[in-house]
Amino acid sequence: MDVYSSSRLLDVGDLRVLVTDHGPEDGPVVLMLHGWPDTAHLWRHQIPALVEAGYRVVAPDLRGFGGSDKPHDVDACRVRACVADATAILDDIGADQAHVVAHDWGAAAAWVMALSHPERVRTLVALSIGHPAAFASGGLRQLKASWYMLLFQFEGIAEEFLSRHDWAMFRRFVGDHPETVRWIETLSEPGALTASLNWYRANAHPRRLLSYPNRSTPCTVPVMGLWSDGDVALTEEQMTASADHVAAEWEYHRIEGASHWIPLDAPDELNRLLVDWLARHP
């Protein structure tokens, strides 16, 4: 589907985010947050299934991505800024709460949203990334899998490394996924690659290894976590260990035969899980 067939730009303070909006205005709201290097187009297989099930689905291009503004300031890409955008989107459509379905950096923001604004989150479906404390305590295996986060800190160098020679290293990094051509098209727009990498520079600087608090805040909303066995960037342990940090209902599903991009690689299985989960949490 063309997810942008129903979309609008929303002012969120000093910048604008592009918000797609589908389904009945009076339906239960599902807020979908993508990650790197995606846009709301990531959810093109899920939105029709959720709309058919009666839900109103809102899916923004996160700040720095796609049709949303691309701030030059690294701090503008902090996760908490994305959380503020998400609550602004809900305010704009008059929704007190939403089911939040999120992947990658979107999932990182969704966890923070559930922890800091639990009254706005009916349930959380976290794809690939677990609770912040579980990720931070993921150990050497997760640190090795996250090697690229250190590379992405080097401004200018990371951009050239990924894009030179017709994006050769980017293609290798994402495994030449079928979505690669679309990703390259969007990241080639002026300022897009740097804005997307600023998410890593704002939220995954090595100093966080020394500053992460010892105590974690438990999540008090129901959570379904999903991880795929083809994910080379995130370990299964950082997802399953999230159970220790969820004080409400916790459900876990392991998706077989899919890469990091579950919404694209296992759309039918994901849709089935989402519709079932949402139906059980009206």
For residue 98, the SS3 value is strand
For the segment 78-118, what is each residue's pLDDT rounded down to a tens digit? Answer: 999 999 999 999 999 999 999 999 999 999 999 999 999 99
Amino acid letter, residue 143: L
For residue 151, report the phi and psi dihedrals to the nearest 5 degrees: -55, -40
Would you state the structure tokens that stand for residue 73, as one six-digit string? 């300031």
Mean pLDDT of the chain: 96
Report the distance separating Cα 48 and Cα 82, nearest Å.
Answer: 25
For the segment 120-134, what is each residue's pLDDT rounded down to a tens digit? Answer: 999 999 999 999 999
| Beta sheet of 56-60, edge-to-edge order | 7-12, 15-22, 56-60, 29-33, 98-103, 121-127, 223-230, 250-259
Asked whether the predicted pLDDT for residue 212 surpasses 60, the reply is no
Q: What is the pLDDT of residue 183?
A: 98
Q: Is-above-0.85 flag for pTM?
A: yes
pLDDT bin (cut points 50, 70, 90) of residue 206 is confident
Classify domain 3-139+215-279 by CATH architecture: 3-Layer(aba) Sandwich (3.40)
CB of 17 within 8 A of CB of 69? yes
Amino acid letter, residue 177: H
The full set of domain ranges for the chain reads: 3-139+215-279
